[in-house]
Amino acid sequence: MKILTPSSEPLGPGSSVVTIGVYDGVHLGHQATLARVIAEAHAAGRHAVVATFDRHPTEVVRPDRTPLMLCSLDERLRRLELLGLDATMVIPFDEARAAESAEDFVKGLVVGHLGATRVVVGEDFRFGHGRRGDVSLLEQMGVQLGFSVEGVHLDSSQGEPISSTRIRAALAEGNVTEACRLLGRPHEVAGEVIHGDGRGGPELGYPTANVQVPAGMAIPKVGIYAGWYQDDGTPRHPAAISVGRRPMFYESADPLVEAHLVDFEGDLYGRAAKVSFLDHLRDEKRFDSVEALIEQMGRDVATTRDLCARHGAAAPPH
C-alpha cells in the first residue's frame, strides 16, 4: 500500500475511489465500508484510497473532548494495508486544516490530489470548518466537479451501529469480549517492556512484562484479563494480564498493564510488545494477605491457560 501526504505527487484525474475518515480501530463497520470501496475501485480499474488524519481532529478543535484511541496511526495503516487498500493519504490535522472550508478540502485534496471519481463515506460524515461539510454538500460538489457520492449506513450489531465510540464504551466497562466482537479481533495495546518494581517474580512467583502504553490509548478498565503477549522475538503467547493500580502494595496514579506469560521463562525488557485481551477474569481487589493474592494469581493463570487453548482461533494475526 502506498502512503501519501498532501505534498506527495497527485494520483491524477479520475484515478480513484476515495473514502474519508479517521477509521480508528478499523473495526467491522469500517471493514464493510472499505470492502465496498475496494470492490468498486478495482471493478472500475481505479485505485482504492483512504484519506485519513494523523490524529483525531478533536485533538485540535476540542481537546477536552478527544477520545482515547483504539490503535496508533502505524497500526491503523498496517490494518488498512491488510485489507487491500491501494493507497492511504495521511493528512496532518492542525489549526490551518481545521480552519479549511469543506469546499476547499474537496477541491484541493479529494479531487485535485487524489483524483476521485467516486467518494464513499458514512451517511453521518461531517468535515471542514465548523463541520459544515456533509453528504449533501459532497453530492452538490460532485455534480460540479464530476464525481459520484455514496453515503453508506453503518453496519449494525444487535440493533446498534458498530462504531469506535461503542467499542471504547465496552472497554471502559471491561467488556473485552464485546470489543472483540465489534472489532473482529481482540483489542490490542502496544508499548515498550520496562522495568517495574521487581516484585512479581521474586516475591509473588509470577514475573510480568510491564508494558508502557502511550498516553491517549484506550485500555480496558482496571481488572484481570486473559489474553496474549507477543513481540518481535516472542511468538504470540498466552498471558494473564493485569490492568491495575496494585492495591495490595500501593495505589498507582495510572493503571499499569502487566502481562504474565504462562509457562514462559526469558528476559523481555526493552522490547516493543503487543498485548491483546481475550476475556475479563475478575475485578482487581485488595487481598487479606500476600498468600491469598498468590493463590488467586495461580487460579488466574490456570484459567488463562485453559481459555487461550480453547479460543486460539480468536487470537489476533501477527
- pLDDT above 50 (res 10): yes
The predicted-structure confidence for 276-309, as pLDDT tens digits, reads as follows: 999 999 998 888 888 999 999 999 999 999 999 9
Is the fold of 2-160 the same as that of 183-313? no
- pLDDT above 50 (res 313): no
Q: What is the mean pLDDT of the chain?
A: 92
Is 295 among the catalytic positions?
Answer: no
- pLDDT above 60 (res 248): no
Residue range 116-132: average pLDDT?
94
The topology under which CATH files domain 2-160 is: Rossmann fold (3.40.50)
- In percent, how much of the chain has pLDDT > 70? 92
Q: Of the listed 150, 178, 188, 258, which one is catalytic?
A: 258
The predicted-structure confidence for 78-104, as pLDDT tens digits, reads as follows: 999 999 999 999 999 999 999 999 999
Looking at the structure, give the CATH architecture of the domain made up of residues 183-313: Beta Barrel (2.40)
- pLDDT above 80 (res 200): no
- pLDDT in the model for residue 202: 55
- pLDDT in the model for residue 160: 81
- Break the chain into its structural domains and give their ranges: 2-160, 183-313
Q: Which residue has the cell 455514496?
A: 150
